[in-house]
Structure 1
Amino acid sequence: MQQLPSARDNRSQHFANLNQYRNEGFPAVKMLGRFWMIDETIYEEFLNMLPPAYCAGGFRMIEKLTDDISATFLKVGAHYWCGYTDRETVEPHRLLNHIHKLNATFNTGRLYQPEGQIITMQVLDDRTLFMDHSRGIAGEIQGTPPQGMQPHVWVMNRYDHNQYRMSVEAMALQRGEEVTKVKL
């Protein structure tokens, strides 16, 4: 999976992402698994464009890019996403699960509170926000988790080594309904 530049409030960027293969001259099949953030306006526009094929978390365009690869539009929490999926290797639910991992609430098990240390994180385009609900610390980390590393491990490494700055924006992160217990 590869996250492309955000298209929130930027319709031109959305179309640049949709057509990246064409603009950069590589086969359309290489778009599989690429995804990016969009806004509700873009989501609704595409929902009303053609009859959608509904899937977990959203819908796929009935018009295919190639073979079985389609643009897939998802809503995860309060955010909207678009990406390319198929029905075999990068199915819509796999992309949805991947995005969920980038926007999650987890419990480190550290005993800052009787229930442990509860942290919500949100990975954006070029930065990552976190809210430590147990300690009241909200931060922003420059960058995003590297491919192949568990996002919560990366966030906690930066947090533990004071590689973040305080963030008013991160203070708005709400504790998720589902809290995943993790091992660090």
Structure 2
Amino acid sequence: MGIVEVADRNLHLALLDEVFTRRVGGRCWLSFVQQEYAAYRTSVGGAVWDELVEKLGTDRLPELERFLFTLPLTQEDLSAVTYLCLDGDREVYQLYPHWWHFGGHFTITNLDGIEYCRAVTRLFLGQGIVEGCSLAPLAELTELRYISLCALGKYRDVEALIALPALAELQVVNTAPGQGRDPWSSVLEHLRARGVAVHS
């Protein structure tokens, strides 16, 4: 299958983490890409792998990420994903000391491309990691049965959740009155009427 282009660099990074974690049968996938990095370094130069990883910080972010974005995401890879958690508990973030102090460096603001994960049944959109996105791309995830997200994420097009045919359970936190409940109220009411288990 073809190579997938993902517009949001941070969604691309999170999907790489998911795909390569699955490919090596668990975590610590970064240790398995050293051979690819060696070939990359031959053509573009840069630090050796051990030096790159051991001295990571804000000064090394561009160097590592330029390499990571050369690793391909394919439609075949993404179509095998059934569980996707877009939060801070991803291996790739743990490479960076104190990564949570990097401001919005890892924030996902565009979900275009997530539709290639067409077999996903459970999706978690982590607070502080996924912000200000349109939820419209989720409408393509026809197998999606469970979603967890935070209403404070300032999502747009939340009505797209109504179109999900397989949705059975929705967890939305921070929907208290005065804290961004609308436009959530009408969406949640509609989903409850349809029989979706809504927790808010």
**Normalized against structure 2, the TM-score is what?**
0.29
Q: Which is strand-richer, 1 or 2?
A: 1
Bigger relative contact order (CA 8 A; separation at least 6): 2
Structure of higher CA gyration radius: 2
**Normalized against structure 1, the TM-score is what?**
0.31
